[in-house]
Amino acid sequence: NAGVTQTPKFQVLKTGQSMTLQCAQDMNHEYMSWYRQDPGMGLRLIHYSVGAGITDQGEVPNGYNVSRSTTEDFPLRLLSAAPSQTSVYFCASSYSSSPGGELFFGEGSRLTVL
Amino acid sequence: QQQVKQSPQSLIVQKGGISIINCAYENTAFDYFPWYQQFPGKGPALLIAIRPDVSEKKEGRFTISFNKSAKQFSLHIMDSQPGDSATYFCAASRRIYGNKLVFGAGTILRVKS
């Protein structure tokens, strides 16, 4: 029972490089989202999707792109990495976009931008 | 601007003691208040949640107390155990915005044996 799988677990980038953080879930969840976790700031929503083909911005979307071509996958793209994007990134999914639906998180991807 | 303010930032409790973590929110439209628990190297996991139509919810050793008029809610961990050592996040959301949770800054709990 894989749940939410994130790759890579660790990544080091140089300023200006681009990369994609992968997220896949095998629970047939409608709702998927990306959060970043920074010390003293909790988790902040970057982008989210309520179903295939539908995405929207969260609280801190600048510098990130997403797409949702399938129910299972929700990749997060960093277009031109900046040191301010050094963080731990979490992908989360839930069965429904309605509140009260438990969010299931992946184990995180730790990104360092030099 | 943090919509959900959480305190304390860190907490040390003796085994068997009570751990208390507090959160305050500003947006009165919030209508769902979960707590998530995170162990090192892992993603957060739902611990317990409450809606504003009740003042308290208990699940085992974990209790949420909710004060709608004060816009505050808290997590109480009774008989705290070393295995409870983790980071705890409170969160809130508005029903019409689905699962767009707003998280507090987190509390690092250490239970000393």
pLDDT tens sequence across A61-96? 999 999 999 999 999 999 999 999 999 999 999 987
The predicted pLDDT at position A2 comes to 81
Nearest to A101 among B2, B94, B99 (CB): B99
Burial class (CB in 10 A: 0-12, 13-18, 19+), B14: exposed
CB contact under 8 A, A45 and B104: no
The predicted pLDDT at position A95 comes to 87
The predicted pLDDT at position B68 comes to 93
d(CA A25, CA A23): 7
- Length of chain A (residues): 114
Instruction: With beta carbons less than 8 A apart as the criterion, state whether A33 and B43 touch.
Output: no
The predicted pLDDT at position B2 comes to 66
Interface contact B41, partner A, CB < 8 A: yes
CB contact under 8 A, B103 and A4: no
Residue B22 CB partners (closer than 8 Å, separation 6+): B6, B7, B8, B72, B73, B74
Residue B20 CB partners (closer than 8 Å, separation 6+): B74, B75, B76, B77
Q: Is the pLDDT of residue B49 over 90?
A: yes
CB contact under 8 A, A40 and B9: yes
Query: Which chain B residues are closer than 8 Å to A58 by Cβ?
Result: 100
